Structure 1
Amino acid sequence: MIMKGSQRGGAMQLASHLLKSENEHVEIHELRGFVSDDLHGAFNEAHAIAKGTRCQQFLFSMSLSPPPWERASTESFERAANAAEQRLGLEGQPRAIVFHEKEGRRHAHVVWSRIDAENMRAINLPHFKNKLTELSKEVFLEHDWKLPEGLRDPHLRDPLNFNQDEWQQALRAGRDPREIKQVFQQAWSQSDSAKAFGAALMENGFVIARGDRRGHVAIDYTGEVYAIAKYTGVRARAVRERLGDPAPLSSVEDTKTALRARLTPRLRAMSDQLQEKQAEERKPLKDEARNLARTHKAERAKLKAGQEKRWLNESALRQARLRTGVKGFFDLVTGKTQQTREQNDREAWQALKRDQAQMSDLILSQIAERRHLQARIDEMRKKQVLDRTKLDRVIGQVLHMKSAPEKLQSDKNREIQSRSNDPKRQAGPDRDAER
């Protein structure tokens, strides 16, 4: 599993984020060491205890993501969380485990309190990134999973990976986030100057502008703003060295206005029609995904209710083994009561593991079913990305053609202005001197 962690505060914000309804399934799997039985209350407890110290980042949040094509049981997640806890020195600390499922993938978030309540100090976590990377490799090898290139060698990490903000931005623009990054990175690698880079981006419907923070950004015809350093995957200093000072560039708002003016009504209509068409294409599959999620939730609730009923019946049977009265006193004296209690504990533990395995098997079978649907959704997305890319290139060509006359006129205006400012040209030739 890929394990990534960070120290942080913001207890309420983190709890709200982990319970977001944008996931198809959200399960609070474990709350250990807290009085509260809900996530907000548990994290609020950690915050209250942290106020007795000077620690601001009193939580350690870790995500566990198995390969999307592999089956990872609930027990596998628990073992990985326990191993990370031991490796980081967080044994026995209050923790929460939350599972998320979306688009046929399941991952977990584990959050620990860093505050040692007995000594009222924050537990130091030196080199936690390196430790989690090494542990991730061990978990991959333990399950005989194919080790990702980026985990084997950090220099081989996929440059097209994206974060949550980039994903949301791509959705707003109606594009695939990987496709956007690929456009930027190919334009960067194939260009050696600001002019070449700008032309390569414009071919795909992006125009370079001056960002609000004095950096370089690119804007598409929908008005979305993209930080060039982020999407090319290079440092801001390298961007500035190649593209120069952004001060002469147009501002974001001016560039948006210019883009709207360049787009013909026909092109705007084509863009709107494509968005509407693709939304209609997505609707049946989105409805199917929602219905499938509801069905899966009902199946899990039914299994859980059955398990709870069986647990009560089995607990009653185990309790009935403990005799009362004179017979119970005799069992206590002879040690039979202790043997019965130990037997009950073993059977209760076995019943608990049985129920967990049943639920895990159900979840894994549902994930497999959801992946079949996701394969169809992914195929549709690929087709829509191709259609969108074709339109982007058409719009890029139009923008490029419209910018050429504007640039020519701008150059002429500068030349005229330069001539008008030349004192020799203003004074004219000295004819007396010629005579």
Structure 2
Amino acid sequence: MILEGNARGYGAELARHLLNMRDNDHVQVHLLDGFLADDLAGAFEEAEAISQATQCKKYLFSLSLNPPPDASVSVGAFEDAIAKAETALGLTGQPKAVVFHEKNGRRHAHAVYSRIDNDQMKAIQLPHFKRKLMAVSRELYLEHSWDMPRGFDDRQQRDPNRFTHAEAGQAKRAKRDTVALKKMFRACWDGADNQQAFAAALADQGYALARGNRRGLVAVDADGKVWSLSRWCGVKPKALSQKITDIEDRARSYPCSNCSFVKTPRTRASSPSPLIINLVNGFRLSKSSSE
């Protein structure tokens, strides 16, 4: 069973996502534990209200549990996996919600915890949570005699086109195919020997190479959407920095002379920033002139 998690805020948005019937055949709120509210949106609103007494912005921890495609997993087995995960993470006793989704006869689960310790009024820290969830996942595969994914024992054997829920959500919002995007970004990376070749390969696909405020090197599309290159190319930031070496000579990062190396906006906006619009338009002009 693959376990993935992340700390996050925006509880109302998460509640809408978990209760979404358009992408699932069946949705069941299986458990609300430790909340006064008796509905999912109210529970997350309650967690947000309590977090206002702290400095924590990501007051929830969202955990997804995905069994192997051919496995039939009981509710009890999911509950056992959730218990193992929360023990490993130090979230035992925290208010939580458990939601089951079913699609095409396959069930997966989501467990969402409040990170706020009500007694001490501070957020519970989650150091190395990815490593801990990986250890629990491995234990579950062995316990249920499921075939272990290749990447569990050797990172080099991981499927380069595997994607997370966050990546699938970003691709869905952009109305793009997640696997096709992964393959495209990976092909741009694998086919480029240096920074200029990589920037040109991205430009051919309609993306501009840029530096983000928080995500290091990113690609920006024509709509101003920002795509983490480390995530979508499936490479570590260190590998990116080794290939993208000519950072200071910003103009040379692009195949057109009127493009500039820009920083992506820190806040969400309804429309792309003028800097990004100019950047992408520069790519379009360069591409049309070359054709």
The TM-score, its normalising length taken from structure 2, stands at 0.72
2:84 equivalent in structure 1? 83
Contact kept in structure 1, 2:202 and 2:209, CA below 8 Å: no
> Which residue does the alignment assign to 1:129?
130
Answer yes or no: is 1:72 the counterpart of 2:100.
Answer: no
**TM-superposed deviation, 1:148:** 0.9
Q: Which position in structure 1 is the counterpart of 2:101?
A: 100
Q: Deviations over 1:188-246 (max 9, x none)?
A: 324424565567668xx5256454859674769x9988665543233342342279845
2:113 aligns with 112
* Max Rg structure: 1
- Is this contact kept in 2: 1:150–1:156, CA < 8 A? yes
Aligned mates of 2:178, 2:160 — CA distance in 1: 12
Q: Is the 1:210–1:246 Cα contact (8 Å) retained in structure 2?
A: no
Deviations 1:67-119 (A, max 9, x none): 12211121111111122223333333221101123355422111122333344
* Displacement after TM superposition at 1:169 (Å): 6.2
How far did residue 166 of structure 1 move?
4.5
Distance 2:247 2:126 in 1: 40
Contact 2:195 2:244 in 1 (8 A): no
Bigger Cα displacement from structure 2, 34-43 vs 224-233: 224-233
Offset at residue 141 of structure 1 (A):
0.8
Could you say if the C-alpha distance between residues 108 and 199 of structure 1 is closer, same or farther in structure 2, counting changes exceeding 3 Å? same
How far, CA to CA, are the matches of 1:179 and 1:241 in structure 2?
A: 27
Structure 1: which 5+ runs fail to align? 263-401, 407-435
Please give the alpha-carbon distance, in whole angstroms, between the structure 2 residues aligned to 1:173 and 1:54.
32
Answer whether contact 1:59 1:114 (CA < 8 A) is retained: yes
2:280 is aligned, of 252, 262, 267, to: 252
Give aligned pairs, total: 260
Q: Please give the alpha-carbon distance, in whole angstroms, between the structure 1 residues aligned to 2:6 and 2:173.
A: 28
C-alpha offsets along residues 161-203 of structure 1, whole Å, 9 cap, x if unaligned?
234565466568876432332233234324424565567668x
Name 2:233's counterpart in structure 1: 232
Q: Identity percentage over the alignment? A: 44
Structure 2 letter corresponding to 1:206 = Q
Q: Distance in 1 between matches of 2:27 and 2:284?
A: 39
Structure ranking higher in helix proportion = 1
Alignment of 1:11 with 2:15, yes or no, is no
| Higher strand residue share | 2
Determine if contact 1:206/1:218 at 8 Å carries over to the other structure. no
Aligned 8 A contact 1:150 1:157 in 2: yes
Q: Distance in 2 between matches of 1:201 and 1:102?
A: 35
**What does residue 245 of structure 2 align with?**
241
Deviations 1:325-368 (A, max 9, x none): xxxxxxxxxxxxxxxxxxxxxxxxxxxxxxxxxxxxxxxxxxxx
Counterpart AA for 2:141? F
* Alpha-carbon distance change, 28 to 172 in structure 1, aligned in 2, over 3 angstroms: closer
Q: Answer yes or no: is 1:188 the counterpart of 2:189.
A: yes
- The 8 Å contact of residues 199 and 208 in structure 2, kept in 1 or not, is answered as no
